[in-house]
Structure formats: structure tokens, C-alpha cells
Chain A
Amino acid sequence: MKKIFLLHLLFFFSFSKLYALIEVDITRGNLDPLPIAVSPLHVDVKSEKSQDLKIKDLGDNISEIIERNFRSTGLFNPLKKEAFVQKPDIAHLKPRFEDWRLIKAQALVTGKLLILNGKLKVEFRLWDLAAAQEMTALAFTTSPSNWRRVAHIISDKIYERLTGEEGYFDTRIIYVAESGPKNQRVKKLAIMDQDGFNTKYLTLGNELVLTPRFNPTSQMVTYMSYFRNMPRVYLLDIETGTQEIVGNFPGMTFAPRFSPDGKKIIMSFAKDGNSDIYTMDLDSRLVERITDHSSIDTSPSFSPDGKFIAFNSDRSGLQQIYVMRSDGSNVKRITFGKGIYGTPVWSPRGDLIAFTKMHKGKFYIGVMRIDGTGERLLTENYYQEAPSWSPNGRVLVFYRETKAGDKGAGFSAKLWSIDITGYNERRLSTKTDASDPSWSSLLSK
């Protein structure tokens, strides 16, 4: 009897194990961009005529901007419209999911627009085709001339829904537009949408301009220009066009940048061959000295919480990157690699610092953790520098110059962007040669 009982017990345990839930670990997947179908937006027949806009084309144009934005991320693969089988108006009402799945799409964007009483109303829906359900749906009302911005805002909303992080399409980039031969360059301040459209020039090109930087909280810009042959930091309101010199320093000021709350400017002030870092409060105009060292301290950049400052200094011999508290205390060197490090820029996420490195005649754009570990060089070239973060901390924009031949022939300067993974390097289209880019925060935020 005991034996039978034991056997029963043994069998019971074997039996219970047999029905244990099978678990399979999935640790790898497909790294191809997500196939997404962006259906042209349906134009409502009730739409009024607009003087400047071809209303009929507006639906196609908006969907094309969304597609272009997605393609530029490297994360999405917008599918060709020729393969679409469902009409935009019906698809927007309720897509035939099987039809869209047939063309291997995993997500679908549909929408419609209407111009009524002088207002443009655009609505869109994002569909999960595998789950056959709507993921998000929003409507926007604005003036018809703003249709490009609406396309960028829709792109941002979809990007956020599909990736979990904020988009960066409804943004602008300020840069130095360059023209003319290399030894006689004309440099103007220019601003454009992140996709290269709506370029406007903010200065006339009479004076040299360098290092423009956006205020993260408003439409203000700080940059360096010359006044009476002396480099000075300026402040420009791009909506009103008013400019002013920042502070009354008895020497040259340069390398300006805003604090994360937009209330201070941090910059370098040079006198008698020594340069140190200063801040100036924009409300009270109070100036504070942050570093006091006999070496050259420059290129300061605040951490997003405003508690720390990264900068570069040659206090240890070669130029390296240092981090200190925002009051100038607790200075720590964070780069120890071979070569020269410069232009540290703190990521808006706060986890990384982007930099330019020069080693053995090559220039690199890279990122590292805020303690200097985990250095990753993203791109190498003959000459490139000045990285600037997209507002979501995923993409860097920088500029690259080509080697000039005799008499400056073949020289060019262009803007490029690269993902922090080191993939998806792309050239940004600009009307002229361009350098020193700075990415704005989201306009619609």
C-alpha cells in the first residue's frame, strides 16, 4: 500500500510539472524600420476656397510631409502609395485592415481636412493594423496658412504614440548661413523648419556671426557677433527683431548658451589671454563669475536640471571636458581619452553629453555618460563640430566642412544629423552652406 501511495505521489508531482506554463524568452527581434502606411488626407467637399492654397492638393501635401518626417527618423518605413487599395475617405472612417496588412503595413495613418469660416480643421487617426484598432485620434483647428505646422504636429503625435518619446518635427533650427569664397565668407544668421523649409535670414551679413543658440523656453536667440571689432554675445528676439549686447564686459565674450529655464545666459569672458565662465541673469542683469582659473575655460553647457555645468578647459594641458556644480564648485575632469575634447552639450534627457573630439587629424562627434564613461564616437570626418540635441535627446545635428583645394576650391559647409545610436546619418537641406546649428524646443509645447 505504501508503495502504491508513494507512486501516486510521485506521479502527481510529475503530472503537475507537466502542466507548468511553458515560457519562451524572446530577446531578439527585427531591427528594420516599422512599415507604416500614410494615406492621403481626405479633403471635405464642403471646404471653402482659399486664395493662397490649392485645397485639393492639401491632403496629399500634408501626408507627404508626415511621410518625409517619418523616413528621416530611420525608425519608420513609409510604404509607397501606389500599393494602397482603399480610398482615403473610406479608410479614415474604418479601414479594411486585411487590405492594409496585405501590403505588410503594421500601422496606418488616415485623416481628413476641412476649411470652414476661414479656419482649417484637420483630423487624423492612427491605426494598429495587427490589432485592428485605433491607437490615437486628434483634431486640430488653425489658420490655413499653418498647414505645414499641422503636418509636423501630427507627425509628433504619431511618433510619440509609436515610440514612447516626444517627437521633434514641430521645431526650428537656427544656423549660420554661409556664402562666398572661403577667405571672404559672408555669414548670416538663418532660421528654418527642421525639414529645411521656411528659411528666413535674421541678419544682413555685414558682421560676422557665430554660435547661435536657442532659448529652450521662448523665441529668443543668443549668439556671438562683432561690435567695434570686439566679439560680443548678443541677444535677439526673433519675433520682434530687437537685439542687444549681453552685459558690459571690458573684453570679448563668446560661446553663449541659455540655462534650461531660459532665465540666464552662460558664456565665456576673455581678458588678458585668460578666459573664464560667467552667467548673467536676464531679468536682474546680475553677472556671476563661475570659474576662476588661469587656464582657458569655455563652451559651458547646463544640465537639464540646471544643477551642473559641463565645459572644456586646458587646465590639465590638453583641452578636456569637465563637469562642475552650477556655482562653480566640485570641478571634475570626465574625459581622459587620447586627443582633444570640446563643445560639450548636455542632452535634454540628462543622461548623455555630446562632444567633438579631435584625434590624429580627424574630427569625431560622440556621446558619453555624464561621468565620462561609455564614450561612443558616432561619426568621423575631416572636419566636423558643434553638436546640438533634438528636443527629445535622440538626434544630434552638427556641421561638417569639406577640405578646400587650392584657392579655397571645393570648400563647403553643410548641416548633418545623426541618431545617438550612430545610425541614420543624413544631410539636412539648406539653401546655402551652413554651420553652427542649434535645435529649438518643440514650438507647440
Chain B
Amino acid sequence: MIIITILSFPFMLREPVDLPPIVSVELIQISDKTNIPYAPKARKIIEKTKKKEERVVSEQAPPAAKEKEKPDRIPLPDKKEEQKKLIKKKQNPEEVKPQIRQSSEFEKKEIIDTNQIAALIDKAKEVEAVKQKDNNKITQSNQKNSFASALTLSEEDALRAQIFGCWSVPLGLPYDQNLLVRVKLQLKKDGTIMKSEILDHERMNKPGQKFYKVLAESALRAVRLCQPLKVPPTGYEKWKNLQLNFNPTEMLKG
């Protein structure tokens, strides 16, 4: 063991450097004290905006149109009706019955009424028959549009592309952690968000889960910024509850 003596030389002892002292800073958490409710003016503006949004919704789906429709039919946007008429002209009206027209699965879902299940079962065979007949005409997206999936590929892609644009991914996140954030949304018919919820929200406040919290907040920001979401014009019952799984792992690795 070598014991080292310290050599101190007079020429080394210089005047202290004039550096600003490290002064301790007193920190006070003021969040609790300052979390005040909406200022009256801000509240008014928000309410005004909300009212405006509601009005837009009613313009998009006028209730009057609904009343005109038969109870077992769903309201379709004008364009669709035009398309339907065109198809009718092309096809033989005697061969294709109005009830078994080639409608999207969203429409079919709304056709379903628990009181009329029996009647629908009777129609099931006919639907199947027509489906087989028209099998060659069905596009790829229509195939996806089966009972197993509620959004067509193009609808899913449109929604995904919309959210890609709104989601500012926090770039400092580590890529080797499980950072999947699942957001459950309750949507209005126009795609605006009624309710948003982080499915593992208890993880947000656990110690050592700062990155998860940051990611979850960024996901919520994305859906709020994106609204109204690009949802299909029909089949509201199917997509009114939607789950978005935000997973940045691939991006962070890249």
C-alpha cells in the first residue's frame, strides 16, 4: 500500500475564481393553489365553440332525412342515394329485391333491430345467396368489410393517416421499454370525441413511469387535435367506441 503525501505548492494557491455562487433555490409546488376553474370569458368562448360544432353536426346529418326513411332503413348521405339509384338503373329491378341491395356492413348493422331479429334471420339466406351471386363484384375493401372487422382497409388507413399527422411523438423516449398506450374513445357521429380514456391510466402515476405518462399525454393530445376524426359516414354503432393503440417503438428505433 502506498501512502501518498500531497504536495502543495505556494504558486498553486491562486486567488479564488470570481464565479457566481451556487445559490440554493427554494421550490414551491403551486399547482394545487393555482388550479383555478375556467375564467368566465374563456368558458363563454368554449361554450360558443361547442354550440357551433353541434350545429355543424346537425347540418351533416339532418334529422329530417331520418324521419323520411323507413324504420328498418338507415339514412344515407345524398351521394349514396344517387349511387343507389344509378345501380338500380343498371341492374334488373326484378332480380334484386330492395331489402337485399348491396349495402355496406355499416348499414347492415344499423338495419339490425333487436325487435326484428327474427325477420332478419329469414332474410339471411337471401342475403347469403345474393352475396354469392355478386361475389365477383366485391372489392378487396368490401371483403375486409365483413362481420369480423368494422372498418374497411381504406377507412382504417384514412383514420390512421389523420392521426399520424396530429401525433407529435416525444422523441426522447427509450425504445427498449414497453410503451404501448391504449386510448379508448367514445365518438359522436361526426367524429368528435365525447370521451377519451387511457386504458392503463393507473400506470401514469406510478414511480418510474414518466416516459409512459409523457407518451400517454402525447396520444391524448393527438386525438384531441385531430378531431373530428375521419370516420365512415355510416355504421356509427360499430365505431362509436374505438380503441387506438399508440406504439412508437418502431419509430424510435428507426
Contact = CB atoms under 8 A, between A and B. Distances in A.
Interface in B191-237: 210-215, 217, 219-222, 224-225, 237
A266 B221 CA distance: 47
Interface in B103-136: 109, 112, 117, 120-121, 124
B213 A18 contact: no
A8 B151 CA distance: 25
A272 interface: no
A31 B151 contact: no
Given A125-B34, A163-B214, A26 B12 contact: no
B22 interface: yes
A331 B43 CA distance: 66
Contacts of B163: 24, 26, 29
A330 interface: no
Given A31-B171, A94-B36, A134-B31, 4 more contacts: A24-B159, A26-B222, A93-B39, A164-B212
Interface string B227-254: 0000000000111011111111111000
Contacts of B222: 26, 29
A103 to B, nearest CB: 13
A7 B121 contact: yes
Contact of A244 (B7, B39, B239): B7
A14 B148 CA distance: 8
B121 A11 contact: yes
A202 B17 contact: yes
**Range of interface residues on B (Cβ < 8 Å):** 35 or more
Interface in A77-115: 93-98, 106
Interface residues of A, number: 81
Interface stretch (A135-143, A300-308, A309-317): A135-143
30 contacts: A18-B109, A18-B238, A21-B242, A21-B243, A22-B238, A24-B151, A24-B163, A24-B245, A25-B245, A26-B167, A28-B164, A29-B168, A93-B39, A94-B42, A96-B41, A106-B168, A130-B225, A131-B217, A137-B35, A138-B29, A146-B25, A164-B170, A165-B172, A200-B19, A239-B22, A242-B12, A247-B4, A280-B4, A285-B6, A286-B4
B64 interface: no
Residue with the greatest number of chain A CB neighbours at <10 A, chosen from B1, B25, B42:
B25
B166 interface: yes
B99 interface: no
Nearest to A125: B34
Interface in B66-120: 109, 112, 117, 120
A140 B160 contact: no
A71 interface: no
A326 B18 CA distance: 37
Interface of A: 4, 7-8, 11, 14-15, 17-32, 34, 75, 93-98, 106, 123, 125, 128, 130-132, 134-143, 145-146, 149-150, 153, 160, 162-165, 191, 198, 200, 202, 219, 238-245, 247-248, 280, 285-287, 351, 394, 421, 443-444
B164 A29 contact: yes
A22 B150 contact: yes
B177 to A, nearest CB: 10
B49 interface: yes
B57 interface: no
A219 B16 CA distance: 13
Contacts of A286: 1-4
Nearest to B7: A245
Contacts of B214: 162-164
Interface string B5-39: 11110001111111111111111111100111011
